[in-house]
Amino acid sequence: MKRIVLFLATNLAVLIVLSVVCSLLGVDRYLTQRGLNYEMLLIFAAVFGMGGAFISLATSKWMAKMSTGAQVIHEPRSAAEAWLLATVEREARAAGIGTPEVAIYDAPEPNAFATGMSKNHALVAVSSGLLNSMNQDEIEAVLGHEITHIANGDMVTLTLIQGVVNTFVIFLSRVIGFVIDNALRGGRDDRGGGVGIGYYVSSMLLQIVLGFLATMIVCWFSRWREFHADAGGARLAGKRKMIAALERLKALHEPSTLPQNMAAFGIAGGVGQLFATHPPLELRIQRLQQSA
C-alpha cells in the first residue's frame, strides 16, 4: 500500500504546487482573456497533468526513502541481509530486470513495497516487522511479488493512468470554475475580460476534490495489478510459498503505522473499498488456490 499511497500523495502535492505557480505566472489569465480557450486549456491540462505524474514517478524512490526512513543495504551486516540481497538478485534475474536497490525500514507491521522510474532502476524495501514475523520461504514470496510489480512496469503504467486522470481533473476544475465565476457575477463582464477571485478559489478547491475522487481509478488499477503480482510471486518463489505468505499476512494483520494524513486512503468498508489499494487477502488467497 505504501507504494501507491506515496505516489498519490506526491502527485496531489505536485499538482497543487504547479497550479499555484501557474496562477502566479498569469497562465489562467491568459487562458481566460476572451472567454475560456478550451483548446489551449486542454493542451495546458495535458502538459501539466502528465508532467505532474511523471515528476511524482521520478521522485518516487527519494520520497519513499525519506518518508519511511528506509536504509539501503550497500554491504550486508548480517547473514539475514546477505540472504535478502541474494534473493532479490536471483529473482530479479529470473524476471529479466536489473537488480533493484534493497532497503529495510523500521515499522512493526509486516509490509514491503517496490517503486522506481524504470525496471532497471528500482527499489525494493521491506519492513523490520516483516523480517521478524515471516520465515524465509514467506519473505521470498513477498519479494517475488514486489519484483513482479517492477517487471510488469506497474509504476509506469500507473503513472500514465494518473497523467490522464490529472489532465481531466485540471481541465474540468477550470471549466467548472469559469462557470461558477460567471454565475457569481450574474454573467456580467465588468473587468474587460478575464476572471475574478471566484474562478481561482473554486477551480483550486475543485482540483483538490476531483483529484481525490479520481484516485478511485488509480486504486482500482492497483487492486487489479495485485492479482498479477501474486501470480508472479508464485512463479518466482512457488505457489505454496506465496499462499503461505498471504495467509501469514492475514494472521499477523496489525493496525497500519502510516501517517494519519495517509491512513485515510486505507479505510475499509462501504465507499472506502473504492479507495482501497489492495484486494482483501481472502480473495487473493482464493485466486491463487484456484489458479493452475
Q: What is the pLDDT of residues 97-150, one digit of tens each?
A: 999 999 999 998 888 988 888 899 999 999 999 999 999 999 999 999 999 999
pLDDT of residue 56: 82
Beta-bridge partner residues of 125: 103, 113
Residue type, 71: Q
pLDDT of res. 51? 86
Q: What is the pLDDT of residue 279?
A: 86
Q: How confident is the model at residue 262 (pLDDT cuts 50, 70, 90)?
A: very low
Q: What three-state secondary structure class fits 103?
A: strand
Contacts of 101 (CB under 8 A, 6+ apart): 61, 72, 122, 123, 124
> How many of the other CB atoms lie within 10 Å of CB of 217?
15
Q: Return the amino acid letter for 233.
A: G
pLDDT digits (tens, 9 = 90+) for 202-252: 888 898 888 888 888 888 888 888 999 999 999 999 999 999 999 998 888
Mean pLDDT throughout 50-77?
88
Query: Which residues are annotated as catalytic?
Result: 146
The DSSP bridge pattern shows strands 101-105 and 121-127 to be parallel
| Residue 161: partners with Cβ closer than 8 Å, 6 or more residues away | 217, 218, 221
Domains and CATH numbers, the chain: 2-63+154-259+269-290 (no CATH), 67-151 (3.30.2010.10)
Q: Which residue is associated with the grid cell 524512490?
A: 61
Banded pLDDT at 272 (limits 50, 70, 90) = low
pLDDT of 291 above 80: yes
Residues recorded for the chain: 292
Q: Name 71's bridge partners.
A: 104
Q: Cβ atoms within 10 A of the Cβ of 256, count? A: 16
Between these two residues, 3 and 21, which has the higher pLDDT value? 21
CA gap 277, 155 in Å, rounded: 13
What is the per-residue pLDDT for 187?
A: 58
- What average pLDDT is seen over the chain? 82
Per-residue confidence (pLDDT) for residue 268, from 0 to 100:
31
Q: Which residue has the cell 503504467?
A: 157
What is the pLDDT confidence band of residue 25, given thresholds at 50, 70 and 90?
A: low
pTM here? 0.78
Give tens-digit pLDDT for 164-188: 988 999 899 989 988 888 888 775 5
H/E stretch holding 27: helix 27-31
A 10 A CB-CB count for 283 gives 13
**CA pair distance 15, 174, nearest whole angstrom:** 13
Grid cell listed for 256: 497500519
Please tell me the distance from the alpha carbon of residue 180 to that of residue 269, in angstroms, as a whole number: 34
Q: Where are the alpha helices (DSSP H) in 100-238?
A: 128-133, 136-151, 154-184, 197-237
